[in-house]
Amino acid sequence: MDTASMQLAAASGLMSLFLFIVAVGLLALLAGGFWLTSRVRSNESPRPRPEEQPKLPPEGPVREIRQNRESAEVPRTAKGERPLTPYELSNMDSRPSESQDRPRWSKGSSGSFGGGGLGAH
């Protein structure tokens, strides 16, 4: 056997050893991942049983209600007084609008600023 074939065999053996070590390392990573996942799952709360699942209300499924709403007016401050801060405002209620017609965009308008439409002319 000459030195060239011995060097080739040695390089081939080193490559095989390297690939074997990489494969064992990958298997160790996979096993560690499964172990870590099982530990995390054991700390989670159990899945709900069928009797714990949400139920429909007695009156049946909830339906969508479409209506236009108007907000309450923001109270105005007298001249010379300081403006109200958001924390001083009460919970601003809304009420159904008198007109239930849905607002529509004008023809040829995209409905948004910079939307690419021709706009109202």
Residues 6 or more apart whose Cβ sits within 8 Å of residue 77: 83, 84
9-13, 30-34, 72-76, 112-116: the lowest-pLDDT one: 112-116
- The DSSP bridge partners found for residue 94 are 71
| pLDDT given for residue 16 in this prediction | 87
Has residue 6 got a pLDDT over 80? no
Mean pLDDT of 100-107: 70
> What CA–CA distance (Å, rounded) separates 116 from 114?
6
Report which of residues 36 and 92 the model is more confident about.
36
